[in-house]
Amino acid sequence: MKYLSLLFCLTLFACGSKQVATNLYGVDLPQPQYGDRQIASDEAYSEKSYIAFFENRNYVVRLERIRMLAKHLGSLMEEKGQPRKRLLQKFQEDLDKQINYIKKLEDLTAQPEKKLPINWLPQKDTYQYGAKIRALHAVKNSSEVMFQLEAYLASTQVIEDSGYDQNFFYGLMRRALSQLGKSLQEIEGDKGQDLLAAKLSYADYFAGVARMNLHKAIDSRPIERKVRATLRELQRVRSAQDAKAILVSRDFAEASSVLRNSDYSKSSDIEGSRDDMDTKITTYFSLEMIKYLYGGLN
């Protein structure tokens, strides 16, 4: 009986304790504050959280902490019907790629305790400095395209209010990426990289997502094959000129019309309307995002 009482007390303690999210390395994530809040106190708390999480860290750790925030954000989102989660998944892929590349350049596998400058940037005039800067530009450009697409989707009212928790972590991540961009702008002689490569990469990604989900949106196999062929052409685009050409093509117009007029209610299985929305996001809105990206190319 004594042991049962002890177990009961421990259970109550665990249920009443504040949950702290950590990553695989045991680093605590900042936590949203609750209770009676005002905008001023929220801003002050966000500032304090940002400083504690990112300041006094080298640029590789800062990138990893952006990745921590992105992964935690994804875990807060429903698996289906979340356009922001699709954008976040693509950004995470790009971020993972560049972090792994930078770690290789810094030889952090062989030298895990290597000292790096406390900054958003690598130490100047070191081995492969230019390659590291280009990798950081790739992260910054990917995030800019993600934010542009999010703003576009918000204007179409596809993105719903995400709630306080998501907005808190998203705000920290966005501020960190903004600081990275400002640091890159301060490099003397650095002209940066345009967004073309990042936009084409996102278009390629969403064309692939649409191809994977096309069978849920279109009943007719001949029509599905035709739209699928158009999506494959979208994935082959490698220049602004090619993008503009396909954007005004008859095949693109037909594919857009088919997906715009599809009956997405037929895609439901267990979760009903959530499946409908997820199919529409992964097919029709994937194509709309590609149209938005291609339409903004110079």
Residue 34 lies in a domain: no
Contact 268, 276 (CB under 8 A): yes
165 and 86 belong to one structural domain? yes
**Distance, CA of 238 to chain centre:** 22
Q: How far is CA 110 from CA 48, 64, 103, 106, in A?
A: 34, 18, 10, 9
Residue 5 lies in a domain: no
Contacts of residue 48, Cβ cutoff 8 Å, sequence gap at least 6? none
How do residues 228-254 score in pLDDT, each as one tens digit?
Answer: 999 999 999 999 999 999 999 999 999
Among candidates 252, 201, 211, which has minimal Cα distance to 230? 252
Residue 79 lies in a domain: yes
Q: What is the pLDDT of residue 111?
A: 86
Of 185, 219, 234, the position where a domain reaches its end is 185
User: What's the whole-model pTM score?
Assistant: 0.85
> What is the total residue count of the chain?
298
Contact 123, 117 (CB under 8 A): yes
Token couple for 290: 């590609």
Q: What is the pLDDT of residue 181?
A: 95
| Residue 51: domain span | 41-185
Among candidates 170, 171, 174, which has minimal Cα distance to 75? 170
* Residue ranges, the chain, pLDDT below 70: 1-26, 33-41, 81, 161, 266-274, 298
Beta bridge partner(s), residue 28: 22
Q: What is the pLDDT of residue 10?
A: 35
Q: What is the pLDDT of residue 11?
A: 39
Of 126, 161, 185, the position where a domain reaches its end is 185
**Distance, CA of 203 to chain centre:** 14
Beta bridge partner(s), residue 22: 28
User: How is the chain split among helix, strand and coil, in percent rounded to 5?
Assistant: 70, 0, 30
Helix axes 240-247, 221-235, angle to 10 degrees: 160
165 and 212 belong to one structural domain? no
174 and 59 belong to one structural domain? yes
125 and 238 belong to one structural domain? no
Please state, in angstroms and rounded to a whole number, the distance separating the CA atoms of residues 121 and 260. 44
Token couple for 262: 């599809």
181 and 200 belong to one structural domain? no
200 and 180 belong to one structural domain? no
Q: What is the pLDDT of residue 26?
A: 52
- Structural domains of the chain, count: 2
Q: What is the pLDDT of residue 40?
A: 52
Contact 240, 196 (CB under 8 A): yes
Residue 47 lies in a domain: yes
The residue type of 283 is T
241 and 172 belong to one structural domain? no
> How many CA atoms within 13 Å lie on the side-chain side of 164?
11
Among candidates 144, 169, 171, 77, which has minimal Cα distance to 296? 144
Q: How far is CA 263 from CA 140, 255, 289, in A?
A: 38, 14, 20
What is the full DSSP assignment across 43-74? HHHHHHHHHHHHTT--HHHHHHHHHHHHHHHH
70 and 102 belong to one structural domain? yes
Contacts of residue 67, Cβ cutoff 8 Å, sequence gap at least 6? 92, 95, 96, 99
